[in-house]
Amino acid sequence: MSEPTHPDQQPRTPTPRPGGRSARVRTNVVAATLAEVTEKGYDGLTAEAVAARSGVHKATLYRRWGGIDGLVADALTASADQPWPLPDTGDLQEDLRRITQEVFDVFTDPERSPTPIALISAAQRSDVGAAALRDFFAARHHQAAEVAERAVARGELPVGTDGAEVVSAATAPLYYRLFVTGEPLDARTAERAADAATLAARAGLFMTTSTTPTDPEPGTTPATPTP
Amino acid sequence: MSEPTHPDQQPRTPTPRPGGRSARVRTNVVAATLAEVTEKGYDGLTAEAVAARSGVHKATLYRRWGGIDGLVADALTASADQPWPLPDTGDLQEDLRRITQEVFDVFTDPERSPTPIALISAAQRSDVGAAALRDFFAARHHQAAEVAERAVARGELPVGTDGAEVVSAATAPLYYRLFVTGEPLDARTAERAADAATLAARAGLFMTTSTTPTDPEPGTTPATPTP
């Protein structure tokens, strides 16, 4: 764990030791950040309010989290660390349908949707938040990749399938609607996204090797991301 | 929001008469808004700077656009109105690959990407912007739906395919990376997104009727969006 010692240092996501006072402080601060950002949004989020709500001194917040953006980033990191149950129905299409249905359920539930919507929107507002957002989705994709890995083990998908990419493809149409186009989500979209990802995965589109059955020009697709 | 709107006046997207002074004013104001939001972002966008850059009085900006958010919304509306060439290769997969390649090209080009990134990010910051964003993507999807409609006419896709949904599915993984997860775009992702949408469309997943070959429970998928 590297804690900033000067208030003018870059915000960063602290990684306190598990257990003990440091972990309790983090738990309280994350809970307070989530509550505040849900109620007031990024523009209304203040270190003062998080300090008051968590019972942690404002100076401690600045020292350990660097400021508002570090608080938002760490709340995302803490969310990514939460384990969540994966479906295991023995069928990739059904597993993916349950995953997209869960995204649909969360984001159309007036009780459960405000916090993730506020947290993702807040994270988009700073570089440190954006980095945490990227790590958050990478962690979620990798956790859920297990449904594709089991499908590979069953012989349902080709060996070499990138499970995280399968999950990303299944959920992308939902987040695209939620956070880009603003179209309302419907259950049909969630199911169709899962079914489309299943078809693509079965056809070998998500194999990590560069040559796929529908890719006649592998040389034109660089393996390294374009900046 | 950076700029207060007049208390009794909601921001709105004006629809000036085509041609004449009103149209010229709008052209200048849209160009100035695009330049300002690209240079300074939403947080740095002011009616003063748009007025100075466009040569249009600030009072006129407030009267016709309501404020910053109305300016952002109208810049998006103007962008949606711009015609753009569609590929017509005689093959749906190739047409969709060219569309996703164009999105990839624009958003990885340091010259062309800053304005759409700044405009979309700015529109996410207000309700009037979000409404314009939704209309913008709907317009884009509907314009490009022609590639799927031609595929239906060729017998390549089932009759009843929703072309806008095909285009949305092909481009969603790119915008998901750009505006939600923050993962870098690569050419492989763009191609794979087009190929996955092609497979799904050919399988009948984007038919507007509620029953599809891979949907054993049509009764569980309401056709109307959930609010």
Q: How confident is the model at residue A222 (pLDDT cuts 50, 70, 90)?
A: very low
Is there a contact between A147 and A89 (Cβ–Cβ < 8 Å)?
no
Q: How confident is the model at residue B217 (pLDDT cuts 50, 70, 90)?
A: very low
The residue in chain A having the minimum alpha-carbon distance to the alpha carbon of residue B110 is: A227
Those residues with Cβ within 8 angstroms of residue A85's Cβ, 6 or more apart along the chain or in another chain: none
Radius of gyration of chain A (CA): 20
In this prediction, residue B174 carries a pLDDT of 98
Q: Write out chain A residues lying below 8 Å of B172, CB-based.
A: 172-173, 176
In this prediction, residue A21 carries a pLDDT of 86
The residue in chain A having the minimum alpha-carbon distance to the alpha carbon of residue B120 is: A180
Q: Write out chain B residues lying below 8 Å of A175, CB-based.
A: 176, 180-181
User: B31 to chain A, minimum CA–CA distance in Å?
Assistant: 23
Half-sphere exposure of A153 (CA within 13 A, CB side): 8
Whether the CA torsion A36, B119, B139, A227 is positive or negative: it is: negative
pLDDT digits (tens, 9 = 90+) for B75-107: 999 998 887 789 999 999 999 999 999 999 999
pLDDT digits (tens, 9 = 90+) for A142-177: 999 999 999 999 999 999 999 999 999 999 999 999
- Per-residue pLDDT for B213 more than 50? no
- Per-residue pLDDT for A83 more than 80? no
Q: How confident is the model at residue A200 (pLDDT cuts 50, 70, 90)?
A: very high
Q: Write out chain A residues lying below 8 Å of B130, CB-based.
A: 182
Q: What percentage of chain B has pLDDT greater than the value 90?
A: 79
Identify the three-state secondary structure at position B161. Answer: strand
Select the residue of A134, A179, A196 nearest B200 (Cβ to Cβ). Answer: A196
In this prediction, residue B209 carries a pLDDT of 65
pLDDT digits (tens, 9 = 90+) for B40-88: 999 999 999 999 999 999 999 999 999 999 999 999 999 988 877 899 9
**Contact flag A226-B195 (C-beta cutoff 8 Å):** no
Q: Provide mean pLDDT across the span A65-92.
A: 94
What domains sit in chain B, N to C, each tagged with a CATH number? Answer: 20-80 (1.10.10.60), 84-209 (1.10.357.10)
* Structure-block tokens of residue A164: 């995280």
CA angle, A36 as apex, A34 and A42 as ends, to 5°?
A: 95
User: B21 to chain A, minimum CA–CA distance in Å?
Assistant: 32
Report the C-alpha gap between B75 and B30 in whole angstroms: 5
Is there a contact between B179 and B187 (Cβ–Cβ < 8 Å)?
no
Is there a contact between B174 and B100 (Cβ–Cβ < 8 Å)?
yes
Our measurement of the distance from residue A111's CA atom to the centroid of its chain's CA atoms, rounded to an integer in Å, reads: 19
Report the C-alpha gap between B124 and B78 in whole angstroms: 17
